Amino acid sequence: MSDTSDIKLVDAPAGLEGSGFFATAADKVLGLARANSLWPLPFATSCCGIEFMATAASHYDIARFGAERMSFSPRQADLLMVMGTISKKMGPVLRQVYLQMAEPRWVLSMGACASSGGIFDTYSVLQGIDEIIPVDVYIPGCPPRPEAVLDGFMQIQELVKTETLRRRNEPRYQKLLASYGIQ
Ligand code: SF4
């Protein structure tokens, strides 16, 4: 399984050997578990949301990645998937949802509208959700095909797998949140 390719087995400490025992780094194991059991919160406001429904349905089947358990409650989700045009009126709602999610949390921006405002270069549309919340992965396209959505999702899985347990307490991450006015 390619998921485990970056896990390096080391010699077991004395007394912890034989079948049933193996030694590895805790953050690798937690990363592997988290990456394959993400709970997405689909924040779908327009057409990209429909494309996501196709991604979740039987043909593309997001359950293959362990992510079929959609959460419409921010406190029970760890991946915010923003898909669709976000108006400036909707911006504070999106930010509130992000703030209500517990750490660790990741953000996926799906499609041109969420990532940059898309074709809606108007006074009423937010020109990219990264104006109000940090984004981990952007998926280009209008709309992106389900293959692109799955590719973006796998990029998130890579991030989750390789993230250290210390990252959320590091000054760099705190600085990123502070740049968005988040404590
Ligand atoms: S990027 Fe295109 S498909 Fe997606 S919400 Fe915007 S207009 Fe619709």
**Residue holding tokens 């990123």?**
176
Banded model confidence at residue 109, pLDDT cuts 50, 70, 90: very high
Q: How many CB atoms neighbour CB 171 within 10 A?
A: 8
Give just the sign of the alpha carbon dihedral 21, 24, 27, 33. negative
Q: What is the Cα gyration radius of the chain?
A: 18
Nearest CA to ligand 1 atom 4: 48
Pick the atom of ligand 1 nearest to 51's CA: 3
How far is C-alpha 63 from the chain's CA centre?
15
Spatial separation of the C-alpha atoms in residues 85 and 179, rounded to whole Å: 23
Q: Are 79 and 35 in contact (CB under 8 A)?
A: no
Banded model confidence at residue 95, pLDDT cuts 50, 70, 90: very high
Determine the pLDDT at residue 5: 67
> Of the residues 45, 46, 115, 149, which should be mutated to test ligand 1's pocket, given the most ligand atoms within 8 Å of the CB?
46
Give domain limits for the chain: 26-179
Summarised one tens digit per residue, pLDDT across range 24-74 is 778 888 999 999 999 999 999 999 999 999 999 999 999 999 999 999 999
Spatial separation of the C-alpha atoms in residues 165 and 30, rounded to whole Å: 9
Pick the atom of ligand 1 nearest to 143's CA: 3
Q: Is CATH 3.40.30.10 the classification given to domain 26-179?
A: no
First to last CA, the chain: 39
Spatial separation of the C-alpha atoms in residues 71 and 175, rounded to whole Å: 28
Determine the pLDDT at residue 8: 73
- Distance from the alpha carbon of residue 85 to the mean position of ligand 1, in angstroms: 7
Higher pLDDT, 132 or 24: 132
- Distance from the alpha carbon of residue 167 to the mean position of ligand 1, in angstroms: 33
* Helix (H/G/I), strand (E/B), else coil: 10: coil
Banded model confidence at residue 3, pLDDT cuts 50, 70, 90: low
* Helix (H/G/I), strand (E/B), else coil: 106: strand
Q: Which residues contact 26 (CB under 8 A, 6 or more apart)?
A: 165
Nearest CA to ligand 1 atom 3: 143
Structure tokens at 101: 């999610």
Banded model confidence at residue 23, pLDDT cuts 50, 70, 90: low
Determine the pLDDT at residue 100: 97
